[in-house]
Amino acid sequence: MSVAADEIRRAADLLRAGELVGMPTETVYGLAADALNVEAVGKIFSAKGRPADHPLIVHLPDATHLARWARAIPKDALALARAFWPGPLTLILKREDGVPDAVTGGQDTVGLRVPDHPVALALLRAFDSGIAAPSANRFGRISPTTAAHVREELGDKVALVLDGGPCQVGIESTILDLSRDTPVILRPGAISADDIARVIGRRPEMRKPHAEEGAAPAEPDQPRVSGSLAAHYAPRTPLQLIPAARLAEEAATLAGEGSRVAVLARTCADPKDARLTWCNAPSDPAGYAHGLYANLRDLDACGADFIVVEGLPETPDWQAITDRLGRAAVGSGDGEDPLPERDET
Ligand code: TXA
Ligand code: MG
């Protein structure tokens, strides 16, 4: 979907004036602000209801901007930027002087990426500087993958939502920490550990998720990654992941107890059971990820008492999706806005 040039200009002017703009990317929609304007960045945190020490990703028009935001840039970072930007890979690098604490959560690192979406790239080129943008959802909720989702979540908080159509990838970018000796994936995404290893010649480690919901980082100097905390991406309806072999039986049992049950599965086991609301997901990881958040939103809105989701293969190509579903299960079911101590983005 294209956006007219005068709307891009208007969005860039709004960013210069310190306002917030809904920005499509290939992963999810972002809540965009001028990354160098501390007051504008503050508006992001209040609009989302997000704790102020959670760092934001800075989006750049292209890799030539890297040096203004990061220092001591390792050659692996340049190789990965060449290979995957524009694209769904965020690099955590040592920050350059002048990058506001408001963006980095006071850490000495900054998250950077060039998004692969024509509307985001047009806005970034018109703005010609870094745009801070977390996912445009309320804190702890499902990330938006359409302009309508952004209006639902934050409509009264944004000056403008650019409609770039449904996001192609559908889940957030891979986050790779290159600020230490060992590369570590802090959040899995469409760009896999194998993809990264092919470029840098070594396999990044995978950061272990925190055991407890909202737990503090295991090591004191570990960066806070709200997308790595247990409760995240959560529907209000309780959500359970159930192994494929037991899915139909368990859904039928719940329904037999009088519950209204919504099911997300790759194969429709028994569409005739009228007590169940079925949502069929594509059987390939890219297709599944593309529709995941919209499917979860629909299932959350259908009035069910439970959402049951078919467990997915434990293979690397499903890892980013299983990660999001696991967090959705942990955070689900409070039926209202998240409590401040429940952590996420
Ligand atoms: O695909 C995406 O990455 C989307 C689109 C809009 O670009 N953005 C996104 O932003 O998912 P957000 O804020 O929802 O998630 C960004 C994650 C957070 O978990 C944050 O903690 C982490 O990136 N992050 C940002 N800067 C960091 C840093 N310096 N060190 C460690 N983690 C960082
Ligand atoms: Mg987020």
User: Is residue 296 exposed (0-12), middle (13-18) or buried (19+ Cβ within 10 Å)?
Assistant: buried
pLDDT in tens, 137-173: 999 899 999 999 999 999 999 999 999 999 999 999 9
pLDDT reading at 103 higher than 60: yes
Residues with CB under 5 A from ligand 2 (ion): 135, 345
Residue from 23, 135, 142 to probe ligand 1 pocket by mutation (most atoms less than 8 Å from CB): 135
Closest ligand, as measured to the CA of 59:
1
Task: In whole angstroms, give the CA distance from residue 300 to residue 233.
Answer: 12
Protein fold of 5-207: DHBP synthase (3.90.870)
Asked casually if ipTM beats, i.e. exceeds, 0.85, the reply is: yes
The owner of tokens 């692996």 is 76
Q: Which two tokens stand for residue 75?
A: 């050659």
The owner of tokens 């997915």 is 312
Write the single-letter amino acid at 212. E
> Which residues have C-beta within 8 Å of that of residue 123, sequence separation ≥ 6?
8, 11, 12, 15, 21, 23, 32, 131, 162
> Which residues have C-beta within 8 Å of that of residue 80, sequence separation ≥ 6?
89, 91, 176, 178, 196, 199, 200
What pLDDT is attached to residue 276?
87
Instruction: Ligand 1, residue 171: give the atom nearest the CA.
Output: 1
Residue whose Cα lies nearest atom 32 of ligand 1: it is 225
Q: Where are the domains of the chain?
A: 5-207, 239-331
Is 0.90 topped by the overall pTM? yes
Superfamily classification of domain 239-331: Threonylcarbamoyl-AMP synthase, C-terminal domain (3.40.50.11030)
pLDDT reading at 218 higher than 60: no
Residue whose Cα lies nearest atom 12 of ligand 1: it is 134
Instruction: Ligand 1, residue 113: give the atom nearest the CA.
Output: 7
Task: Provide residues with CB under 6 Å of ligand 1.
Answer: 25, 27-28, 30, 54-57, 88, 90, 92, 104, 107, 109-111, 115, 133-135, 172-173, 175, 186, 223-227, 345
Q: Which two tokens stand for residue 311?
A: 């467990």
Q: Give all strands (DSSP E) within the chain, no chain letters.
A: 21-23, 30-34, 57-59, 89-94, 109-113, 131-132, 160-161, 174-177, 184-187, 205-206, 239-242, 261-265, 276-280, 306-310
